[in-house]
């Protein structure tokens, strides 16, 4: 059986519309994943769900075992991954509560295990990362969100920062000069590891705040972020339910 995985980020530690069949804790050569894999169906479609930060949202972004997470999904028979992410908006079109399906990424993280290809190699392995996200999956998410009249943004550059702190105004200004449109803390090395395992991978991002300095000198309000998370994730769930019947054709 070919599964689609949904990796839930901040605000999506469980799928409310998931009809659970069973849960499974998978051991990997890279340690334990963030939690058990939850198997079930969404609108009749086979799905594996994994909460990136753990069920109780206790694992910070720089401590997520990305290698174990992706390896466990691959071992479970997953072929496609939809990664949900809460992000900050940098450029003008990235207002809070907007859904963004990025097409590029820049990695600003450090100290994370970035690859499966580093020990006991018979030869050095390189993978192409020209297009970090699967284009077929991107188009399915975009069309699903558009049909729901959610006005998704097609494209954009995701800046993956270290966290867990938010960025300074100067740092956000630098990200914008670099060409970034949104900023989050979990996009890498997750996307690259998925590519190494030949998993079809896409990010479905929800903007939950203006990045530092993009709303004047106002500090970023966690209360405001939570408000946009709650309302925005309801939209994300609707997009996933609409998209899942179509993604099974992406092989």
What CATH number does residue 160 fall under? 3.40.50.1580
What global pTM score does this model have?
0.93
Predicted pLDDT at 177:
98
Question: What is the model's pLDDT at position 41?
Answer: 86
Residue 16 pLDDT? 64
* Domain around 137: 3-247
* 3-state DSSP of 12-76: CCCCCCCEEEEEECCCECCECCCCCEEEEEECCEEEEEEECCCCCCCCCHHHCCHHHHHHHHHHC
Instruction: Give CA–CA dist 96/124, Å, rounded.
Output: 42
For 113-160, how does the pLDDT look when each residue is reduced to its tens digit (9 = 90+)? 999 988 776 777 889 999 999 999 999 999 999 999 999 999 999 999
pLDDT tens readout for residues 176-227: 999 999 999 999 999 999 999 999 999 999 999 999 999 888 889 888 888 9
State the pLDDT confidence band at 9, using cuts at 50, 70 and 90.
low
Q: How many domains does one find in the chain?
A: 1
Is 51's pLDDT higher than 70? yes
Q: Is the pLDDT of residue 11 over 60?
A: no
Beta bridge partners of 207: 87
| pLDDT value of residue 21 | 85
**1 confidence band (pLDDT: 50, 70, 90):** low
Instruction: Say if residues 213 and 166 touch (Cβ distance below 8 Å).
Output: no
pLDDT higher than 80, residue 2: no
**Joined tokens for residue 49:** 């769900």
The owner of tokens 């290809």 is 117
> What is the pLDDT, as a whole number, of residue 15?
63
Q: What distance in Å separates the CA atoms of residue 132 and residue 157, rounded to the nearest whole number?
A: 11
């Amino acid at each position: 059986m070919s599964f689609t995985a949904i990796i839930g980020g901040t605000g999506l530690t469980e799928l409310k519309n998931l009809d659970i069949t069973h849960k499974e804790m998978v051991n990997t050569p890279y340690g334990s994943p963030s939690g058990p894999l939850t198997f079930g169906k969404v609108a009749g479609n086979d799905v594996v769900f994994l909460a990136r930060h753990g069920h109780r949202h206790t694992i910070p972004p720089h401590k997520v075992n990305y290698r174990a997470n992706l390896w466990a999904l691959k071992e479970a028979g997953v072929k496609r991954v939809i990664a949900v992410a809460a992000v900050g908006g940098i450029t003008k079109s990235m207002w809070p509560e907007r859904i963004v399906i990025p097409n590029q990424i820049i990695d600003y993280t450090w100290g994370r295990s970035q690859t499966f290809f580093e020990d006991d190699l018979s030869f050095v392995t390189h993978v192409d990362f020209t297009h970090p996200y699967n284009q077929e999956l991107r188009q399915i998410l975009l069309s699903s969100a558009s049909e729901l009249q959610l006005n998704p943004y097609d494209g954009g550059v995701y800046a993956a920062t270290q966290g867990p702190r938010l960025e300074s105004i100067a740092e956000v200004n630098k990200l914008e000069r670099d060409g970034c449109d949104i900023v989050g803390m979990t996009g890498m090395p997750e996307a690259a590891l998925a590519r190494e395992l030949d998993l079809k991978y896409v990010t479905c991002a929800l903007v939950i705040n203006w990045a530092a300095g993009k709303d004047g000198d106002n500090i970023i309000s966690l209360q405001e972020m939570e408000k946009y998370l709650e309302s925005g994730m309801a939209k994300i769930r609707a997009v996933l339910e609409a998209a899942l019947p179509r993604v099974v054709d992406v092989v």
